[in-house]
Structure 1
Amino acid sequence: MSATSDSTKAYNRVPSVTADFWLIKLMAVTMGETAADYLNVQMGLGLTATSLIMSAILLGALAWQFAQKRYVPAAYWLSVVLISIVGTLITDNLVDNFHVPLLTTTIVFSIALALTFLLWFRAERTLSIHSIFTNRRETFYWLAILFTFALGTAAGDLVAEQFALGYMATGVLFGMIILSLSIGYFFLGLDPILGFWLVYILTRPLGASFGDLMSQPARYGGLGLGTVVTSGIFLVAIIAIVVFMSLRNEGELSEDNGAQAGAGDKLARQKA
């Protein structure tokens, strides 16, 4: 039996970093902001009940994701959307229920994320997202993702609300930072792992700012579309892109398995 057979091959469990990766990630964090507001405020569940319900659903989604042992777009992006909502709710709970200042929350989650990366590197000697093929690496990966969302929420709210820049200016600010990091990566030799995680953190306040801009009433500086319409727009877009990704991923797996089968046939002919 070939050592690279489908039953023994270790697949990366997270997607490649492409343009559609960043597009759907940005939409996921935008929806995470508006969906959390809808469940908490419009449905009247309150922060505590919303947090408990969404955390339970997230655990179920992560169980599905961990069971795949390879990248499956539906399982992965469902987990991302849910962890975006939960990350938002964690920060909102600390600020609204426990009255922790936004600056303190931002610092705390920065430290928590840094410690996660430190423990991850000490255990695995890498922070690469291109080799997430064990449960331990995937656990570190999702823990880091959770803290990026919580940190991004805190940092975005700190700039938009406490520094009073407003939704549009905050979105433009974080967009310009992301653009500068992209220039650093493509032209100035910025470390790809560092660049990835910095952009991953910053897309959270970028998406949240534009989500608030679309959903909040005009008297608060928004466009007044509401959380239902805004969440619905991004949900439909996310589903469409995930379907596209699923079809493309199935095609890539079929080509990969076909290549393995061809290699196996060639080896068999050589032995014969």
Structure 2
Amino acid sequence: MQSSPRSLVEHVVSKVPEVTLGFWIIKIACTTLGETGGDWVTMSLNLGYLIGTLIFFVAFVVLVSAQIRARKFYPFLYWATIVATTTLGTTLADFCDRSLGLGYPGGVSIILALLVASLAIWYRVEGTVSVESVVTARVEWFYWATILFSQTLGTALGDWVAGDDRGGLGLGYEVSAAIFGAGLVVVGLLWLWPRASRTALFWAAFVLTRPLGATLGDLLDKPLTQGGMQFSRFYASGILLAVILGCILLIPQRAARRVPVAVRER
């Protein structure tokens, strides 16, 4: 005799890390590496924005596929994928702003539209854009696509505010870093407000940390005449990579909480 169906609860382990202070420290370091690393490939190696974008796009697809196939949260794999999104975001934003001639305002507008569309489609399909929902392959693709667009938007925003060409506001790297840093402080204060949406604040902080990293990266490798410190992009990228690896090893990380999913047993 077949037993009647009954509901069970299965706990699915998320493969993204818990959002803590350590998460944001590593994320900012990764975004800064994305700026210096992306510029090293496209400018220092003279490969150009199109070739650089294609190279990092392949790395992005390979790493996201590996992340999705993984059975659990692996810190080095996760952060390598984040670095892939931030380097691709750097070259993609530069390709739109410079190679396509859209300028900073045009690039920001298009990339912002893509980010909003990604979040809207994700929400329409899944009913949430919370990081805690990233437990299936489909949601992971939404997650990584949204992260890519947010990284690209952050690059374009940072260049627009700091640069004085292509329609930029010309505020310089130090002032731009202060502006985006202040924005993050505001988000942090709103986090203390119980009624604030944690999901909205997460994505706001994710976008803001990218231009902060972009302006810090530009501050490191741009010429002195442009307000930078004129460090070699190669050596700056190497130092940042060492900092990221050290943070991953030293800062405790764990997967986001297990998400209960209703299943049926017959």
Q: TM-score, normalised by structure 2?
A: 0.87
- The equivalent of 1:125 in structure 2 is 127
CA distance in 2 between partners of 1:23 and 1:50 (Å): 26
| Preserved CA contact (<8 Å) 1:30 1:207 | yes
2:78 to 72, 76, 79: 76
Identity within the alignment, %: 30
- The equivalent of 1:112 in structure 2 is 114
Deviations 1:8-34 (A, max 9, x none): 741111111001100000000000000
Question: How many Å apart are 1:150 and its aligned residue?
Answer: 0.9
CA distance in 1 between partners of 2:90 and 2:111 (Å): 12
More strand by share: 2
Deviations 1:83-112 (A, max 9, x none): 100011111111111101211211111111
Matches within 5 A, 1:242-253: 242-244=248-250, 249=254
Does residue 205 of structure 1 match 2:211? yes
Q: Secondary structure at the match of 2:12?
A: coil
Greater relative CO (CA pairs within 8 A, separation 6+): 2
| Preserved CA contact (<8 Å) 2:49 2:92 | no
Letter of the structure 2 residue corresponding to residue 240 of structure 1: G
2:220 to 214, 229, 242: 214
- The equivalent of 1:233 in structure 2 is 239
CA distance in 2 between partners of 1:172 and 1:234 (Å): 20
Letter of the structure 1 residue corresponding to residue 208 of structure 2: L
CA distance in 2 between partners of 1:248 and 1:213 (Å): 29
| Preserved CA contact (<8 Å) 2:17 2:254 | no
Larger radius of gyration, structure 1 or 2? 1
CA distance in 1 between partners of 2:29 and 2:208 (Å): 13
Question: How many Å apart are 1:151 and its aligned residue?
Answer: 0.7
CA distance in 2 between partners of 1:209 and 1:195 (Å): 21
Q: Which runs of 5+ in 1 are unaligned?
A: 257-272
Aligned length: 247
1:175 to 173, 181, 193: 181
CA distance in 2 between partners of 1:248 and 1:129 (Å): 16
Does residue 223 of structure 1 match 2:229? yes
Q: Which runs of 5+ in 2 are unaligned?
A: 1-7, 259-266
